[in-house]
Structure 1
């Protein structure tokens, strides 16, 4: 995806009104959750944390986890301030997949910002997987307890008219283990962002690397993909491990990482955080090949996995990024989440004695009814 960043400043505000100063309002210490060490999300969180330390003196501890639940639990329990999440934010906000259980269900999460990212089926160059359809019978790396990766891969396989029964699913305990499995010849392909550090190792290995294309003009393939996961769209990606300069890989676009917090996080705290994210941009924008996409004209725009936090909206509006169309999207997305949370509370109370094996399926049917009523 070729993005041209622009920076919007409102210097006159400094003399007209006293706005919160990020350097004063940021806490002395923060805890963030992120994917495993070696992931793109961890690298980007680390670069931003370093910029916060240099610019504002804030010390950040990053807590890595290879599972979506491991990244979300500290956030919900108040042990972490923000999570650099992937699609587990969407799944928990919807009470879907791993979160369609009595212990979880939909929760009121809110986004601060999210970088545009590309994804496709990424294969070892010697695996014989030129197109997604060629993955039939091949070993596909999945991550235990991580629907964010796994459901995207299921959707991408659907693009090639494949289901999980058409491939050999190889489950790995962590994201890092799954991403490095192709280099070790323990799998043939996986689905992830194209700048994960393990992919650079794969590209330099004897196996090589190949990006199975998701062509924008394949209407049938996209219809099948979006039927599984309706949060992606076609993307031309020019930053990817092993991709020759000047070439384009046809991928899907989504948001990763999505900086996420809870709805009850104080508005002023989130305002100070996104203000600091904006003001320290020049310190971290070159931290990785894709970090320039954290410019808020890109990372502060819908669509996102969950609604934006009020503190983020306040700052985005002040710098001229937030539009009436963005506000309409956010209100609609918030109404959807509110409806699901309310339906969940009623459903759980009425079905608390239902066996766990039946509960998730029954809730997913009820969830479908709620969503249909919102259309």
Structure 2
């Protein structure tokens, strides 16, 4: 059996990486030393074993390959994640940052952790990968829409976790609460496949990058299904909450599931502040978009990116003037 490590990042979800991938990330995305010449752009990213760090590394590679023309040099700063990244931007310790769209919405609107100190100077450059909701259903439960979760036994994730928060949002979008369920369970993810296949639960709500190993296990073991979230209640929720975007789990992402599955989730967003010059913002966006095929090949996380969605999904802070100029030139989004 192949050895795998389970890693947590952004405090939201788990992702399985091989030991080789961990070593590759540590070596390939090594933090470069600042140059004496040129203007430095530091990207606040995330933990080295997480997702934001290699994503930032790919952005820096795109910027640095033409630095002889534009004079910018990009480096990656490993951090504790979105909240630390925003703190660094606020204090001028970095010029760019990757931040989860839900946290950005709180920063811009002055809610949640930012109720006392909003961050109105944030500006968006582009949307990156998404983390989406997945509803796994027991084939015997006859669940065909989110509203069918009423009266069912559903595992939602642990209280306070990102997975649980997303599950609660899905229930709310369907006009439900935990009181409408037969049981609202807080089950560890690794226990879900057996519980579904033994008919101890009717549905499980996950959030993360796909494929999720536990979902594949339940599909393989007892034919568990994926619930489409193409639903009027979810559509209304998305219109009212621009930090969340419509997302799709592509066909054959899960072995045995040959149709795409409509869902929703949050995005990683590359942001700056209004202090970044319009020319530098334009250069950053152009470097990625003009070399998008190469960029998408730098990490599996980037493979599914779409240029139109990168210009809009989860983009809560106003577009930076430089990004807006580039998108206007290219007819995006």
CA distance in 1, matches of 2:306, 2:99: 18
- Could you say what the CA RMSD is over the residues aligned between the two structures, in angstroms? 4.2
1:202 has 2:214 as partner: yes
- Unaligned 5+ segments in structure 1 are 1-24, 172-180, 327-375
CA distance in 2, matches of 1:206, 1:152: 21
Rate the CA distance shift 1:293–1:200 in 2: closer, same or farther, 3 A.
closer
In the TM superposition, residue 264 of structure 1 has moved relative to its aligned partner by 2.2
CA distance in 2, matches of 1:98, 1:240: 39
TM-score, normalised to structure 1, is: 0.58
Q: Which residue of 2 aligns with 1:141?
A: 157
In the TM superposition, residue 308 of structure 1 has moved relative to its aligned partner by 0.1
1:112 is matched with which residue: 115, 125, 129?
A: 125
Contact 2:155 2:186 in 1 (8 A): yes
CA distance in 1, matches of 2:140, 2:276: 47
Q: Which residue of 1 aligns with 2:328?
A: 317
Rate the CA distance shift 1:283–1:125 in 2: closer, same or farther, 3 A.
farther
CA distance in 1, matches of 2:132, 2:297: 21
1:79 has 2:108 as partner: no
In the TM superposition, residue 139 of structure 1 has moved relative to its aligned partner by 3.2
Q: Which residue of 1 aligns with 2:274?
A: 263
In the TM superposition, residue 63 of structure 1 has moved relative to its aligned partner by 2.5
CA distance in 2, matches of 1:265, 1:170: 44
Contact 2:132 2:266 in 1 (8 A): no
Q: Which residue of 2 aligns with 1:248?
A: 260
After alignment, is 152-161 or 185-194 more displaced? 185-194
User: What does residue range 175-190 of structure 1 map to in structure 2 within 5 Å?
Assistant: 181-183=188-190, 189-190=204-205
1:284 has 2:300 as partner: no
**Deviation sequence 1:249-278 (CA, Å, 0-9, x none):** 0213x6612111112222222122112222
CA distance in 2, matches of 1:236, 1:206: 20
**Deviation sequence 1:295-353 (CA, Å, 0-9, x none):** 544422477212100111122233x325xxx7xxxxxxxxxxxxxxxxxxxxxxxxxxx
Rate the CA distance shift 1:228–1:62 in 2: closer, same or farther, 3 A.
same
Contact 2:107 2:120 in 1 (8 A): yes
- Unaligned 5+ segments in structure 2 are 1-36, 196-202
**Deviation sequence 1:9-38 (CA, Å, 0-9, x none):** xxxxxxxxxxxxxxxx97455232247844
Q: What secondary structure, in the 3-state scheme, does the structure 2 residue paired with 1:287 have?
A: coil
**Deviation sequence 1:128-184 (CA, Å, 0-9, x none):** 7955443855332258586xx66543221223433255564759xxxxxxxxx5136
Rate the CA distance shift 1:247–1:283 in 2: closer, same or farther, 3 A.
same
Whose helix proportion is higher, 1 or 2? 1
TM-score, normalised to structure 2, is: 0.64
Contact 1:31 1:81 in 2 (8 A): yes
Q: Which residue of 2 aligns with 1:307?
A: 318
After alignment, is 301-310 or 87-96 more displaced? 301-310
**Deviation sequence 1:23-79 (CA, Å, 0-9, x none):** xx974552322478444x55533433444455549453243435x423422222222
Contact 1:122 1:212 in 2 (8 A): yes
Whose strand proportion is higher, 1 or 2? 2
Q: Which residue of 2 aligns with 1:158?
A: 172
User: What does residue range 38-53 of structure 1 map to in structure 2 within 5 Å?
Assistant: 38-39=50-51, 41-53=52-64
1:70 has 2:84 as partner: yes
Q: What secondary structure, in the 3-state scheme, does the structure 1 residue paired with 2:190 have?
A: coil
**Matched residue pairs, number?**
276
